[in-house]
Amino acid sequence: MKNKISSGAIILGVSVIIGLSSLGYLLGNSFIETKKLDRTIVVKGLSEKEVLSDKVVFPISFKVVGNDLKDIYEQLKSDNQKIITFLITNGLNKNEISISSPNIEDKVLYQYENNKSTFRYIATQTITIYSPKVEIVYNLNAKIGELVKDDVAISGINQYEVEYSYTKLNSIKPKMIEDATKNARDVAEKFAKDSKSSLGKIKRANQGQFAISDRDIHNPQIKKVRVVSTVEYYLVD
């Protein structure tokens, strides 16, 4: 009886040892595999593209001075027509041009000090161009001075008030994301090669934010579109 119990105990002990050994092997192997999966590399991929703006807002302000409001309004009406004719002659459509209400400044009302001007009223009005004809409007900046020949007192073009915008970002997004991802993979593959590893699958990726800015201060109609993608890859021995 005692021999049977001893044999059973031995068999049970051996089975436990074998089981623990197998479990230890499996856990150890699993740990090794997990550590392998932990080997990753994070890289950034850049994509840049220059595009021409497809919308422009271009304000043109002019002034009229005088002592009689009726005469001033007549002069404003005449100058408006001269400017509109000028813009249409240079390639714009009438529906791309809007006229604001005039701003009348009364020097007597505001009691200017040391006012030696012979004119009581100064009227300012703005004609605004809103158009997709970016190149035409951009070139108007060099021609706008021609209105002086028609006795139109242009106040000058404030370049900070001129707005060029690009509205077709969605049409170029897919290709730029593709290029940024390819750029990131090229960087990752070089790193993997230098570390004597192979590049595995993507663990996670972030396409990043698209940014649109002027290419330079002299050409605000040309925009630079930029995106930086962040990609994390597995490294494989």
Of 110, 134, 165, which closes a domain? 165
55 contact partners, CB below 8 Å, separation of at least 6? 130, 131, 132, 134, 164, 165, 166, 167
Q: Which two tokens stand for residue 46?
A: 């850049």
Residues across the chain: 237
**For the chain, what is the domain count?**
3
pLDDT tops 50 at residue 24: no
- Same domain (yes/no): 188, 225: yes
What band does 153 get if pLDDT is binned at 50, 70 and 90? confident
What are 212-230's pLDDT values in tens digits? Answer: 999 998 899 999 999 999 9
* Structural domain containing residue 28: 1-38
CATH number of the domain bearing residue 44: 3.30.110.170
- Same domain (yes/no): 62, 161: yes
Q: Is 185 exposed, middle or buried (0-12, 13-18, 19+ CB in 10 A)?
A: middle
What are 188-213's pLDDT values in tens digits? Answer: 999 888 888 888 888 888 888 999 99
CATH number of the domain bearing residue 104: 3.30.70
- Same domain (yes/no): 94, 107: yes
- Same domain (yes/no): 119, 25: no
- Same domain (yes/no): 2, 45: no
d(C-alpha 145, C-alpha 154), whole Å: 8
pLDDT, averaged across the chain = 82
- Same domain (yes/no): 94, 143: yes
Mean local confidence (pLDDT), 155-180: 87
- Same domain (yes/no): 16, 60: no
b/e map 44-58, b = 16+ CB within 10 Å: ebebeeebebbbbeb
Nearest to 180 by CA among 44, 60, 64: 44
What are 66-106's pLDDT values in tens digits? Answer: 999 999 999 999 999 999 999 999 999 999 999 999 999 88
